[in-house]
Amino acid sequence: MSNANVIRVGDDYDVVIGNGVLDQVVAAVPDGAQRVLVVHAPVMADAAATIAAAATAAGLEPFVESLPDAEAAKTADVAIRLWSVLAEAGFTRTDAVIALGGGATTDLGGFVAATWLRGVPVVQVPSTVLGMVDAAVGGKTGINIPEGKNLVGSFHPPAAVICDLDLLHTLPRADLVAGLAEVVKCGFIADPRILELAADPDAALDVQGAVLPELVARAVQVKADVVSADLREAGLREILNYGHTFAHAVEQVSGFSWRHGDAVALGMVYVAELSRRAGLIDDALVARHRRALQTVGLPTSYSIDGDVDERWRALRAAMGRDKKTRGSTLRFVALTDVAAPTRLVGPDEDLLREAFDAVRS
> Residue ranges for the binding site for NAD(+)?
69-74, 103-107, 140, 149
Q: Which of 156, 237, 276, 290 is catalytic?
A: 237
- The annotated binding site is made up of 69-74, 103-107, 140, 149, 182, 244, 260
Q: What is the layout of strands, in order, in the sheet containing 160-164?
A: 5-9, 13-18, 160-164, 122-126, 96-101, 35-40, 61-66
Q: Which of 244, 277, 290, 331 is catalytic?
A: 244
Which stretch of DSSP H or E encloses residue 88?
Answer: helix 76-89
- The annotated binding site for Zn(2+) is made up of 182, 244, 260
Q: Which of 233, 288, 324, 354 is catalytic?
A: 233
**Active-site residue 65, yes or no?**
no
**Residue 38: strand pairing partners:** 64, 98
Distance in angstroms (rounded) separating the CA atoms of residues 184 and 109: 26
**Active-site residue 5, yes or no?**
no
* CB 215 within 8 Å of CB 162: no
Q: Which of 223, 276, 289, 331 is catalytic?
A: 223
What is the per-residue DSSP string for 126-168? E-SHHIIIIITSSSEEEEEETTEEEEEEEE---SEEEEEGGGG
Closest CA to 279 of 328, 191, 348, 330: 348
**Letter string b/e over residues 99-108, b meaning 16 or more CB atoms within 10 A of that residue's CB:** bbbbbbbbbb
Q: Which of 248, 259, 277, 331 is catalytic?
A: 248
Distance in angstroms (rounded) separating the CA atoms of residues 110 and 140: 8
Q: Which of 40, 156, 241, 290 is catalytic?
A: 241
**Active-site residue 260, yes or no?**
yes
**Active-site residue 244, yes or no?**
yes
Q: Which of 156, 185, 218, 260 is catalytic?
A: 260
Instruction: Give Cβ neighbours of residue 136 (< 8 Å, ≥ 6 apart).
Output: 99, 103, 106, 124, 125, 126, 158, 161, 163
* CB 38 within 8 Å of CB 52: yes
Q: Which of 35, 40, 140, 218 is catalytic?
A: 140
Instruction: Give Cβ neighbours of residue 53 (< 8 Å, ≥ 6 apart).
Output: none
* CB 333 within 8 Å of CB 343: yes
Q: Which of 35, 40, 144, 182 is catalytic?
A: 182
**Active-site residue 140, yes or no?**
yes
Instruction: Give Cβ neighbours of residue 208 (< 8 Å, ≥ 6 apart).
Output: none
**Active-site residue 289, yes or no?**
no
Residues marked as catalytic:
118, 140, 182, 223, 233, 237, 241, 244, 248, 260
